[in-house]
Amino acid sequence: MKGTATVAALGLSGLASAAICNNNCGRQVAGTAAGKVPLETRRAMCSSFLATTTTVTPPVATQTPPVVYNRNVHNRAAASPTVTGDVPAYATMCSSNVDYWSACQCFGIAPTTITVTAPTPTTTLATPTCTQGVEYALWVFDADSPQAEELGIAWQYFPAVNRNSLVAGVTPVQSGVVAQVGFPQWMDYNNPLRFDGISGPAGTGMEYNVLEHRGYLVPSAAGTYAFQFSSVDDVAAVWVGAHAKSDITTSQSVLNGTLGDFNPPLRYAHTVTSADVGKPVPFRVFWANAGGPAGHLWNVVDPSGAEVLGYGTQKNKQIIASCSGAGTDAPAWPAWTSES
C-alpha cells in the first residue's frame, strides 16, 4: 500500500513504544518469528523506509534578459515539503504507512531525514524590443498655404507659433527613425532639406518646412540632462515629459527660440533622481523654417557632459524611438496625424 503524509503528521519521536511493537503490525514487521520475509531483509527494508527523503523546491527565480531599462520582479514563496513512503506487500497487518513507519522503529532504528534540494525553477520574463534613435516627420507647405502665412509671422515672434494649427492632422511628406539630429545652416534653400544622410522629397525646397523629432530619453545616471539649442533658423521648441505626448501646445514647451545663434546655448535642465534612472522620459523637438536659408543645431547632454543626441551622434541605449512587447515603459507613438 502507499500513502503520503506531511512531516508534521509523522509526530512520533524517539524509538517506538512497547505497545506498537507488540501489536500485529509490529510483530509482523519486527518480530523474530520466522515469516515469509527473513528478519534481516525486513530490517533492511525498514532502514531504507525510515531514511525519508524530502525534496525542497527553492523559490522561483525570475530571469530578466538584458533590456534597455530595468523592471522590478518578485519571487514566489516555496511550497511545504512532503514525505512519501510505500509499505511492503508482506506487511499486511499494517493499515497505513504511518503504522509501518512506527513498527520499523521496533528494530531500534531512529528515523532520519535526507533533504534534497531540487534545482531552482526559473521563469524568464518577456523582453521588450526597443529601437534606438528618434523618430522624425517632415512637412513641406506651399508658399500660399495658411501654414506658410503663419510661419511668416512666427519666425520673428514665437508666441505666434501654433504647432497644432501647422501640422495636427496633416500627413507628413516623409518620416522614419534617425540616429542624429540637427543640421548646420543650408544656404541652398531651393533644394530639399538634408539631415542625417536623408534628403527631403525631390522637387521640394527648405522654405515652409516643419521638422519634428520624438523619442524617449532613458537616463543611465542621476543628475542633470540638458536639452540645448546653439542655432535656430527660424523657429524651434522642446517638450519634455507628459506634454511631449499629449496637449502639445507651444505654451507647454520647456524651451523655445527664434532666429539666432546662441553662445551659451539656450538650455533646459531636466533633473533625474536615483529613483528615475532607467525610466524612459518622452521628449519632442519642433523646428520650422519660414523662408530663405534653414538650419538648427541642438543636442541632449548627460550628467557627465557626454552628448547622447545631437549632430553627428550615434545610436545608443539612452535614446530610444520606442519599444514593443509586454511591460514596456516606452510604447510606440501614435500616428503623426493623430497627435495634437
Which residues contact residue 290 at a Cβ distance below 8 angstroms, ignoring those fewer than 6 apart?
Answer: 148, 151, 152, 154, 155, 207, 208, 234, 235
**What is the pLDDT at residue 158?**
86
Q: Retrieve residue 24's grid coordinates.
A: 500485529
Backbone phi, psi, residue 18, to 5°: -65, -35
CATH 2.60.120.1560 fits 129-338, yes or no: yes
Please spell the DSSP secondary structure of 54-106, one letter per residue. Answer: EEEPPPPEEE----SS-----PPPPPPPEEEEE--TT-TT--SHHHHHHHHGG
Could you say which DSSP state residue 133 is in?
A: S
**What is the pLDDT at residue 55?**
74
- The bridge status of strand 307-309 relative to strand 319-324 is unpaired
Q: Could you list the pLDDT tens digit for every one of the 340 residues in the chain?
A: 444 444 344 444 445 577 889 999 999 998 888 778 899 999 999 888 888 667 777 787 776 666 544 333 333 333 333 445 788 999 999 988 888 888 898 988 888 777 778 787 776 666 788 999 999 999 999 999 999 999 999 888 888 889 999 999 999 999 999 999 998 888 899 999 998 888 899 999 999 999 999 999 999 999 999 999 999 998 999 999 999 999 999 899 999 999 998 999 999 999 999 999 999 999 999 999 998 999 999 999 999 999 999 999 999 999 999 998 877 899 999 999 999 8
If DSSP codes are grouped into helix, strand and coil, which group holds residue 42? helix
Domain boundaries, the chain: 15-56+81-117, 129-338
Reduced to 3 DSSP states, what percent helix, strand and coil does the chain have, rounded to the nearest 5?
20, 35, 45
Report how far residue 265's alpha carbon sits from residue 108's, in angstroms, rounded to the nearest whole number. 89
Report how far residue 311's alpha carbon sits from residue 285's, in angstroms, rounded to the nearest whole number. 14
Report how far residue 243's alpha carbon sits from residue 250's, in angstroms, rounded to the nearest whole number. 10
